[in-house]
Amino acid sequence: MGKTKGKKQYPENFRSLAGFFMTMFANAFAATVLGIFMIFLTDYSGIDSAMGKVGYAAGFGTLFLLVTRIIDAVDDPVQGWIVDSAKEQKFGKYRKFGIIGTLVLAVGLIMLFAMPQGVKGNALLLWVWAVVGYLMFDMGSALSAITAPLVQKSTTVPRIRAKILSVIRMAAVIAAIPSAFFVAIVTALGKDGNLGKTATSTAVIFCLIACAVTILGILLLKEPYLERANEEKKGAVGASDILNLVKKDKPLWIHSLGFLIGNMSYGLAAGVMLYFIKWYFCADMATGEVNLAKFAALSGIYSLTALIPNFLCPFLTTLVLKIFKTVDRGMSGCMLIMACGYGVIYVLNVTGIMRAVPALLFVLFFIVMIPSGMTAIFSTLLTVECADYAEYTIGRNMTAITNSLYGLTQKAASAIGAAVPGILLVAVGYSVNEATGAYTGDLASLPSMVSGLSLVLALVPAIMAAASFLIYKFFYKITPEVREEMTKELERRHAEQSAEGEA
């Protein structure tokens, strides 16, 4: 049967794009809600009151986030290996793991945000519960991270990939809305009751919604059946294949290092921002009382400054790529703009101008978030390209392993972004009443804490973004010539691999 004239074909048709859009929800929500896990622990969990120890939640959260990222470094590649070693199936290799992973992820997140009262008051039980919950979350997150492998498998055309990833990025922004407005929602709904209970129920409800949307999206997607994929290399992906990946896929390591450092610039600023807004703009330093209405309003404004630019980014992708010509150049250009933006924020802060005109913080952060949002799209495009390069040079499709190795950079960036303010909070004995939001630690330490947070807000991110710019500019070596040859060869191989499955 001939193709209908003017009708979009897979993977550009409406059903496929809707599937890609919805499939991203659980992982995007999970990544962003985990980014606010530190403030949940310190301000809403009630761990300090349950333990009867001032500052315990801050210390626990800081150490917990560092320990769990070490776990990530071990188990994420293992889960990628499990997925890549699985056989092709009519339902879809990646789709199957996507559904399993989404269900496991939901269980893990609910455990982290809904700790029983008895667990909070016992140090051993708290660690066991939190680590098990995180392991569930991490395993589910890795198994359900199927968007990049599906994009790599569905097409080799850069234009179509960019289109799909723009749709995925839009979904990620929408899925992040509950997390972005988490503090505002909790403060507004719980100001006349218990903030801690409101925070828990809010996280659980949004988690279940995001996971349900993702499973529906997976069911909408079609996954190409490459029956003869990896036919020349019999058996599961082995240690020698992974070693080959490590040795030969140098672009992956350059990209991972560059994005780890660059993404940390945003992670640090985001990890500090809510604490900075709360105690710099909304608190009475003499009493520790917080103006909850003001905090809800300013945290909402901050969320808008972070989200609106990300809504614009998918529509700007084509234009930006035309300007920079290649994805790696686009990435380096965005990192340079981010470095300049954070640098301006720092200068205005140390000169006192920011204190006189607080709106400048939100305006400048809004501007910085435009190139920052673009890097999220470019990073996925580069990861898919690195997966192409691995398949091109090694002869094996190891997209899930490639994606999980790259995914470590995102998790490391979010962990460091949470751990740095965490270290500052531990140093001052930070403690908050989970019901009222008032400060219960040593009030004399509040000014020094705010000064430390303001330093991390801009200077360190500016340095990080500048370093990332240099890495992409001078060390990422997939040239346009290599890219063209790689695309042609993979198109030929995929056509051969799918021929028998379509027969």
Sign for the pseudo-dihedral over CA of 207, 77, 389, 376: positive
What is the residue-averaged pLDDT of the chain?
A: 84
Q: What pLDDT shows up at residue 1?
A: 39
SS (H, E, C) 333-371: HHHHHHHHHHHHHHHHHHCCHHHHCCHHHHHHHHHHHHH
Q: What pLDDT shows up at residue 131?
A: 92
Mean pLDDT of the region 3-30: 83
Q: What pLDDT shows up at residue 461?
A: 92
Mean pLDDT of the region 351-377: 88
For 310-362, the pLDDT digits (tens) are: 888 878 888 888 888 888 999 999 999 999 999 999 898 888 788 778 889 89
Alpha-carbon span 312 to 334, nearest angstrom: 15
Mean pLDDT of the region 164-170: 84
Cα separations (Å) of 363 from 263, 304, 366, 375? 20, 11, 5, 20
> Does residue 230 register a pLDDT over 70?
no
Mean pLDDT of the region 288-315: 87
> Does residue 155 register a pLDDT over 80?
yes
Q: What pLDDT shows up at residue 6?
A: 60
Which residue carries 């600023």 as its tokens? 269
Q: What pLDDT shows up at residue 339?
A: 96
Q: How many residues does the chain have?
A: 503
Q: What pLDDT shows up at residue 330?
A: 92
Cα separations (Å) of 198 from 187, 203, 299, 407, 431? 9, 9, 17, 31, 19
Q: Which residue has the higher pLDDT, 219 or 395?
A: 219
Cα first-last separation, the chain: 15
Q: What pLDDT shows up at residue 73?
A: 62
Q: Which residue has the higher pLDDT, 370 or 421?
A: 370
Nearest to 403 by CA among 418, 388, 416: 388
Region of poorest pLDDT, from 67-71, 332-336, 392-396: 67-71
For 74-128, the pLDDT digits (tens) are: 666 677 777 777 777 778 888 999 999 999 999 999 999 999 999 999 999 999 9
Mean pLDDT of the region 439-455: 85
Alpha-carbon span 407 to 409, nearest angstrom: 5
Q: What pLDDT shows up at residue 115?
A: 94
Nearest to 68 by CA among 156, 26, 21, 131: 131
CATH of the structural domain 14-224+239-502, one choice from 1.20.1600.10, 1.20.1250.20, 1.10.10.10, 2.170.190.11: 1.20.1250.20
Are 136 and 108 within 8 A, CB to CB?
A: yes
Both tokens assigned to 233 = 């290399």
Q: What pLDDT shows up at residue 128?
A: 95
Q: What pLDDT shows up at residue 85?
A: 73
Region of poorest pLDDT, from 2-11, 93-102, 292-301, 445-454: 2-11
Region of poorest pLDDT, from 20-29, 81-90, 167-176, 424-433: 81-90
Q: At what angle do helices 93-113 and 195-220 cross, to 10 degrees?
A: 170
Which residue carries 């403690």 as its tokens? 431
Alpha-carbon span 56 to 54, nearest angstrom: 6
- Which of 122-136, 156-170, 411-425, 442-456 has maximum average pLDDT? 122-136
Q: What pLDDT shows up at residue 192?
A: 67
- Which of 85-94, 135-144, 359-368 has maximum average pLDDT? 359-368
**Confidence band (pLDDT; 50, 70, 90) for 234?**
very low
Are 390 and 259 within 8 A, CB to CB?
A: no
Q: What pLDDT shows up at residue 371?
A: 92
3-class DSSP state for residue 32? helix
